Chain A
Amino acid sequence: MRSVGTLVVVLVLLALIGPMLAPYDPTQINIPHRLNPPSLEWLLGTDALGRDILSRLLHGARWSLGLAFLISVIGLCIGTVAGLVAAQGGKLTDWLMMRVTDTFLAFPDLVAAVVIAGVLGAGTGSLIFALTVTGWMRYARVARGIGLSLQNRGYVVQAKLAGLSPLVIARWHYLPSLLPSLAVVWTGMFARAILGISALGFLGFGVQPPMPEWGTMLLDARIHMRSTPLQMIWPGLAVVICVLAINLTGDALRDALAEQKDQKGTA
């Protein structure tokens, strides 16, 4: 758990200060030095336009991790609100809300994201929209489920009888119990967002060149697979390391939560 936590801290730091560590401008085109192998001057080599791959990777961390963070947090907010509205509203509200969630769950996430981002036109805005729209439902399901189970708890009933507004009850009575479970869902969605951003980038529907994003870097590298195969390794490796670290954090979080629940149950 601790080692995984350290890894995540390192990744966050990399996304924050990585661009400062980059030895070159990631968009600086330098044709005479195109497709250089790794050397002391360019630690990971240069791409087809002579740009330094290490610098692009470091700057790319901000795009891939930063956007994924943004997308997963927006989804968290929308989903939690939707779930709590369903849990607190009447039967009809709940039914309608759940059918709306089901409708968005009627497509595999990535397929829907590809269609939305592709149709709206490539760009960061439609990328964020596409991945948020296809990602909020899981939070809503979890928030609703826990919300419903809390409905008849003494303190919630009492708060209702005391005439507190649903908003206050949601904030002070539901949210604290929701947060641990939502955190587990969030790690999963964060990892999915990283995969989604790079997948859309790879298809050409995501972050647009010359911005260094790991998926688009992979798309560029693919053409030169025969001459400089190493170029294709780095961006993919970056995605795998990040997703793995976040998934392992999520697993550890879930285990810790389950343990806590067990202790409460036996105490």
Chain B
Amino acid sequence: MRSRFLEGAGMIAPVGVAAFLFALSFGVLARAAGMGLAAPLVMSATTFAGSAQFAVASVLGSAGSAGAAIAAAVMLNARYAPIGISIAPAFHGSLPRRLLQSQLIVDETWAMTIRRKGGFDLQVLLGAGAVLYLCWNVGTALGLILGNVISDPNDLGLDAAFAALFLALLVPQLRGRREVTAAMLGGGIALALIPFVPVGVPIVAGAAGSLVGWMRG
């Protein structure tokens, strides 16, 4: 059990570096948006989802309402419902335990754990999640305290690095015709919707590609 926890922790380490840099810049952005010190810290500890937190800081920074910030974040995080359902059987513990452990689900911990050769394993997800959680929260704190010490993480190409990471995780999933169909539908639906719906919705709609892929396959 311990070895699989460490396996997850080691596997996610490079992603942790990138997450740390994004967390630094979230801290900087949150402070610039007038969120103070405590609120961004609480947010990183409870929400633990990068894109939604950036969206909130950006809405509040441009004098948007709490309602607008919450709506943007909920649309961005809606994907966690299908993602959580897909790995639900791996969660074994009591209800409070499952509730706590599920909070370590993020895109990267999920995607890297499902690709594991021995199949999906909760301990691997928790090990990966613990490392990312630490990187995310320490990074947020340092970003708030230190201010603008690093440039935009995207200057380092980290936005494209995540695209490439997901591509590298996608390719081994394409085992058969059904999987290829689902991927084409997921990517195609997401692409087609980008111009017309709020950020985040294309991913949830893309997830529906798995339904269509299943019925057609």
Does chain A bind chain B? no
Q: Which residues of B line the A interface, CB within 8 A?
A: none
